[in-house]
């Protein structure tokens, strides 16, 4: 079983924890007395880890961890935080001590008596965002505890593994449009059709159905000419009509053209980097997802949801 402690806990800044302790219920009697019933012994935790100020390399490490373990359990050692250092450059955070630090975490107590083989988790959600303002990544992942421990008797029951293979495209039509219509922000998500079972609130078995897809929401602020070329492309390719090559938004290198006139934007680099014609995924617009408004300054603000399509 993979141990993702290093890749997931480095450079996080916030935990949000919801804990269900000793699942159970209560039966009231006519006397008003209650009989409380406990039905499982291992507390369940849903943990949301937030990140901000990540560069592409940091984000890529987390994304790889997610893509390669999207539908299987993995080990995460929350006692391992003591080795963390500052999570972003000093020019980003106000205070250099602005990070999560703990000598010994008490969030997950399972490894203390059941060894690290019991500190087993599964991914529930993955959402990141990059905007042109900083060209840095922020986002969060949500994990749930699993009771499918990394002990032989448990692992003998079922084999879990998962992976992600990009649906490769060579179509450059959308990249051509994006040359002039560059987004100022991109949301980076996934759609997963794996099936889960659970005991109490903890994940039990997960079966990878091979359907992990990348999903993007692009945000634009465009002059009319560029907007109309984007709208034209959408009208030609929306719905079931067209699949196209979607660049890997959020990469560290790519198209370096300003997306609006220099008299409007503060800097010419005010856009989100994309991979250009490299690393194209076969994708299409999510149905009726293109929304736009015309503003009083004559610019068009718009967004669209795009989903990878498996060939």
According to the binding rule CB under 8 A, does residue 96 interact with other proteins? no
Q: Does 35 bind other proteins (CB under 8 A)?
A: yes
Q: Closest CB to other proteins among 6 and 115?
A: 115
Residue 166 binds other proteins (CB under 8 A)? no
Looking at residues 130 to 159 of the shown chain, list those that interact with other proteins (rule: CB under 8 A).
Answer: 147, 149, 151-154, 157-158
Two structure tokens written together for 233: 């492309």
User: 100 with 15: CB under 8 angstroms?
Assistant: yes
Contact set for other proteins, span 99-128 (CB under 8 A): 106, 109-110, 112-115, 118
The count of other CB atoms within 10 Å of the CB of residue 260 is 20
Give yes or no for residue 256 binding other proteins (CB under 8 A): no
Do the beta carbons of residue 272 and residue 185 sit within 8 Å? yes
d(CA 193, CA 204): 16
Q: CA quadruple 283, 286, 287, 290: dihedral positive or negative?
A: negative
Least gap, CB of 203 to other proteins (angstroms):
10
Stretch that binds other proteins, among 189-197, 223-231, 272-280, 303-311 (CB under 8 A): 189-197
With CB under 8 A as the contact rule, the residue among 15, 20, 56, 196 that binds other proteins is: 196
Cα 12 from Cα 9, distance rounded (Å): 6
> Residue 18 or residue 288: which is nearer to other proteins going by CB?
18
Sign of CA dihedral 268, 273, 279, 284: negative
How many residues bind other proteins, per CB under 8 A? 38
Instruction: List the one residue out of 35, 15, 16, 17 whose CA is nearest residue 25.
Output: 35
Binding site for other proteins (CB under 8 A): 22, 33-42, 106, 109-110, 112-115, 118, 147, 149, 151-154, 157-158, 195-200, 202, 204-207
């Amino acid at each position: 079983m993979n141990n993702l402690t290093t890749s997931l806990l480095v450079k996080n800044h916030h935990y949000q924890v919801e804990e269900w302790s000793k699942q159970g219920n209560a039966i009231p009697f006519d006397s008003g007395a209650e009989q409380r019933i406990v039905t499982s012994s291992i507390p369940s935790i849903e943990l949301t880890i937030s990140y901000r100020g990540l560069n592409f390399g940091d984000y890529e490490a987390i994304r790889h961890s997610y893509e390669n373990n999207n539908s299987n359990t993995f080990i995460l050692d929350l006692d391992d935080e003591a080795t963390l250092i500052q999570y972003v450059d000093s020019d980003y955070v106000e205070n250099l001590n602005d990070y999560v630090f703990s000598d010994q975490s008490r969030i997950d107590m399972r490894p203390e008596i059941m060894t690290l083989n019991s500190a087993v988790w599964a991914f529930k959600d993955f959402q990141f965002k990059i905007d042109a303002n900083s060209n840095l990544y922020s986002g969060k992942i949500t994990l749930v505890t699993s009771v499918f421990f990394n002990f032989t008797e448990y692992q003998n029951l079922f084999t879990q593994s998962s992976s992600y293979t990009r649906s490769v495209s060579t179509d450059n039509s959308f990249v051509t449009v994006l040359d002039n219509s560059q987004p100022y922000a991109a949301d980076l998500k996934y759609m997963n059709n794996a099936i889960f079972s659970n005991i109490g609130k903890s994940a039990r078995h997960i079966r990878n159905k091979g359907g992990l897809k990348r999903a993007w929401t692009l945000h634009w602020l465009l002059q009319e000419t560029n907007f109309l070329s984007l709208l034209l492309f959408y009208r030609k390719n929306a719905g079931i009509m067209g699949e196209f090559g979607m660049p890997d938004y959020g990469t560290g290198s790519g198209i370096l053209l300003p997306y609006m006139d220099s008299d409007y934007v503060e800097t010419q680099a005010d856009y989100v980097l994309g991979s250009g014609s490299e690393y194209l995924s076969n994708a299409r617009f999510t149905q009726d997802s293109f929304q736009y408004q015309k503003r009083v300054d004559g610019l068009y603000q718009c967004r669209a949801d795009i989903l990878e399509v498996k060939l």
